[in-house]
Amino acid sequence: MNILDQIVNDKRKEVTLKKSLIPINQLEASVLFERETISLAEKLRNSNTGIIAEHKRRSPSKSVINQKVSVSEVARGYEAAGVCGMSVLTDGKYFGGSLDDLLLARASVNIPLLRKEFIIDEYQLIEAKAYGADVILLIAAILDRKEIESLSKCAKSLGLDVLLEVHDEEELHKSIMPGLDMLGVNNRNLKTFEVSIETSKELSTLIPDEFIKVSESGISAVNPIKDLQSYGYKGFLIGENFMKTENPGQSAIDFIKELEK
Ligand SMILES: O=C(O)c1ccccc1NCC(=O)[C@H](O)[C@H](O)COP(=O)(O)O
């Protein structure tokens, strides 16, 4: 069983429990449910830097990254840096995140927020909207084509952008369909945890132009971004590189300044 199988097994139990505790109509009653969302795809399309900065306390590949900084402080720092959007990990068991992190980020900034989660059920999309997300992630490795289609339709009906993540050509072919806004290539091999931006380069020509291309994971310097931009990438999801520092917002500021040179 690989790490994604383990996470999804736990996630199914978690979602079943949550559904029994918090009914959908309670989530729909959130004031944030009626909020007009901000499109991350649009921000990336019009940006020269395209940074999506992540709040990530820990991970299966790195264990603890940063347990000290507050999510509000990180969010405000990222916004000040001029990122296109912020990714907030909401999984508790493997990443130390929560829906409250999303809520706190929402209360702190006015930039697109991605709910970074292992989405397997429409219930989680309704939660995402109720807690202030603008974007959701769908992971091709844990969903079949029909599930991707129905989850992306549901997300769009809630006004949420959809970022679909793939790891290889097979996942890409299986999941390309209208209704997705962004296609993310994850550079992290989830069997070995090795990261290589070559994965983004190799898959770039297979992604139709109508999708905004996002490169995810293992980015820790500006030169790889400049390289990936020449392969058509407009978005760059960066977590650990910022979060491993004492002041993630300041490191995003320094990084973007360097990228703009
Ligand atoms: O980061 C992990 O170890 C991980 C393990 C299993 C599933 C997902 C995982 N990460 C989620 C992500 O996609 C990354 O947090 C994101 O792309 C940022 O990556 P990085 O810049 O390398 O922190």
Ligand 1 atom nearest residue 60's Cα: 3
Mean pLDDT of the residues in the chain: 97
The pLDDT tens digits of the residues spanning 144-201 come to 999 999 999 999 999 999 999 999 999 999 999 988 999 999 999 888 899 999 999 9
Ligand 1 and 238: CB distance under 6 A: yes
Q: Is 36 an annotated catalytic residue?
A: no
User: CB under 8 Å to 1, separation ≥6 — which residues?
Assistant: 9
pLDDT at 65: 97
196 is annotated as an active-site residue: no
Identity of residue 261: K
Is 186 among the residues known to form the active site?
yes
pLDDT tens digit sequence for 27-51: 999 999 999 999 999 999 999 999 9
Identify whether 59 is a catalytic site residue: no
Find the 217 Cα to ligand 1 centroid distance in Å.
Answer: 6
- Residue of 78, 217, 243 to test ligand 1 pocket, by largest number of atoms within 8 Å of CB: 217
As for how many domains the chain has, the answer is: 1
User: How much distance in Å is there from the Cα of 221 to the middle of ligand 1?
Assistant: 16
CA atoms within 13 A on the CB side of 122: 15
Q: What average pLDDT does this structure show over 237-261?
A: 98
Q: How far is CA 225 from CA 69, 81, 164, 220, 247, in A?
A: 26, 17, 20, 9, 22
What is the predicted pLDDT for the residue at 165?
98
pLDDT band at 2 (very low <50, low <70, confident <90, very high): confident
**Which of these, 30, 181, 38, lies nearest to 110 by C-alpha position?**
38
What does the pLDDT read at residue 9? 97
Q: Summarize pLDDT for 78-87 with one digit per residue, the tens.
A: 999 999 999 9
198 is catalytic: no
Distance of CA 222 to the CA centre of its chain: 20
Q: Quickly state the pLDDT bin for 204 (edges 50, 70, 90).
A: very high
pLDDT tens sequence across 227-246: 999 999 999 999 999 999 99
Task: State how beta strands 233-238 and 51-55 pair.
Answer: parallel
Burial annotation 126-148 (CB, 10 A radius, 16+ → b, else e): bbbbbbbbbbbbbbbbbbeeebb
Does ligand 1 come within 6 angstroms of the Cβ of 122?
A: no
pLDDT at position 163 is 98
- pLDDT value at position 43? 98
Q: Which domain holds residue 89?
A: 3-260
**pLDDT for res 203:** 98
Q: Is the pLDDT of residue 223 over 90?
A: yes
Could you tell me if the CB of 240 is within 6 A of ligand 1? yes
CATH code, domain carrying 194: 3.20.20.70
Paired strand residues for 161: 135
Q: What is the pLDDT of residue 192?
A: 86
The catalytically annotated residue of 43, 79, 87, 116 is 116
Q: How confident is the model at residue 122 (pLDDT cuts 50, 70, 90)?
A: very high
- The best mutation among 188, 193, 194, 251 to test binding of ligand 1, ranked by most ligand atoms within 8 Å of the C-beta, falls on 188
Q: Report, as an integer, the average pLDDT of 116-121.
A: 98
Is the model's pLDDT at 1 over the cut of 90? no
Centroid of ligand 1 to alpha carbon of 216 (angstroms): 8
